[in-house]
Amino acid sequence: MMVLYSGTTCPFSHRCRFVLFEKGMDFEIRDVDLFNKPDDINVMNPYGQVPILVERDLILYESNIINEYIDERFPHPQLMPGDPVDRARVRLFLLNFEKELFVHVSTLESAEEKLKDKARAHIRDRLTQLAPNFIKNKYMLGENFSMLDVAIAPLLWRLEHYGIELSRNAAPLLKYAERLFSRPAYIEALTPSEKVMRR
């Protein structure tokens, strides 16, 4: 059975929990107290971070790498496109999310207020650029739910928690976010601490 070491408020762990529940197979989630990190986290991941996935003698870290593994291991419903060109494009987008959105998460979690304001502005601008895509598309790639939706959902859930306000131009993106949040797997994957992040 797969075991996921997960942070109860960690957006990266949130991605992996979301995929595990989408796949509906057997797994165990172990909550890790990041303020009192057990020694085995540093043994399993040289970067000392969660999420970490363990299955027999395989130990994986990095949320997107973990999620691609789960997707290949349990192909239904498939979250990466079947076509190699489309798959390569999704991977580029995933990289773009890390470099332009999620790179700011650690600032929002810990840094001083002035730096946080800059991080909020970067995220707001990038999300506003993405918004027109959802005037006609249900999900990031069109009609089909995919790994890109999984990757961005934890950030969309935390907008209010991080103090990020979007303008009216981003309304289609917020509607898209509600569509993600209403998925049964999404709701099941939320921890009690995440549930209270949104009113």
Ligand X SMILES: N[C@@H](CCC(=O)N[C@@H](CS)C(=O)NCC(=O)O)C(=O)O
**Catalytically active residues, by annotation:** 10
Q: Strand, coil or helix: what is 54?
A: strand
126 close to 100: Cβ distance less than 8 angstroms: yes
d(CA 194, CA 6): 13
- Whichever of 48 and 142 has its CB closer to ligand X, that residue is 48
- Whichever of 54 and 174 has its CB closer to ligand X, that residue is 54
Kindly state the smallest distance separating residue 14's Cβ from ligand X, in Å.
Answer: 9
Kindly state the smallest distance separating residue 147's Cβ from ligand X, in Å.
Answer: 13
Kindly state the smallest distance separating residue 101's Cβ from ligand X, in Å.
Answer: 12
Kindly state the smallest distance separating residue 37's Cβ from ligand X, in Å.
Answer: 6
- Whichever of 127 and 151 has its CB closer to ligand X, that residue is 151
- Chain contacts with ligand X (rule: CB under 6 A): 7, 10, 12, 34, 48-51, 62-63
Q: Quote the DSSP letter at residue 104.
A: G
- Whichever of 45 and 128 has its CB closer to ligand X, that residue is 45
β-pairing, 2-6 vs 58-61, is unpaired
Q: Strand, coil or helix: what is 137?
A: coil
Neighbour-count burial of 152, counting CB atoms closer than 10 A to its CB (0-12 exposed, 13-18 middle, 19+ buried): buried
**Could you tell me where the beta strands, DSSP code E, fall in the chain?**
2-6, 27-31, 52-55, 58-61
